[in-house]
Structure 1
Amino acid sequence: MNGRKARALKAQKKAEDERLIESIRDAHPVLLRRDGEMEEWQKGPLTLWVPVVRDDYPPALKVGLQLRRTSIFELECMCGAEVRVSASRRIALRHTVSCPASGEALEPLAQAAGIATERADG
């Protein structure tokens, strides 16, 4: 494959990814089920696992989790989180390390509150 064809394919994939992201952003979320500390939602073609924010959580944890929920539903965050679409059409939202919604910020807060955490994004 020559360089011109490779650039054209890359541009085509980027345009498809952007259309997919916009279709997800425009879709209305539907709650499918609640499983412990997580909720499963359908938003367009995307299935989302979103953390539950309980009233008894410490304030800093509640703020971070609420920001994480909002960023998952909107596929954007105040930190400028990067949205990536994999070849298998999986969506990944990568927060900056200093973002209150990042795993790096949330995990210590959750552990200090005695809440078990499992990160799906590694």
Structure 2
Amino acid sequence: MQKHLHLGRQLISSNFDFLQDNEGSMGYFCATDFLEQEYAMGNYAYEVTSTRKIAENVVKLVLDQNYKDNNATFARNLKTMKDYHLLNQQLIDLLHAIKQPRNEASRTLEQYCRRTLYTNSISAESGEYFQL
């Protein structure tokens, strides 16, 4: 089943279609599909915040699968992943980039648009790595 978004007149496939391939990742697919719809409607702030929430849950899942405590803050959980070499530095950097927007208090709509496009692309990249 292929999902599509309408952005203006252009029809595109979801960046997260690969999440449909595994029953365990369908919850992530539903969440990311909803995020893309929010982005298409111009709800950039919600999309950025929700991307971070998904990233936090993925980090907790990886920690849990490696028998590490995952009840700390997102920043602390990322540090734990780095300390135990559970991810390579490039993925740690991508996850920090997803974490950053909520920590920055003020930004313009244009900044949200640029950050949202960036978080969409790195979310897809990190999701493909994890093969959720």
- TM-score, normalization by structure 2: 0.30
Greater fraction strand: 1
Greater fraction helix: 2
Q: From the CA coordinates, give the structure whose radius of gyration is larger.
A: 1
- TM-score, normalization by structure 1: 0.32
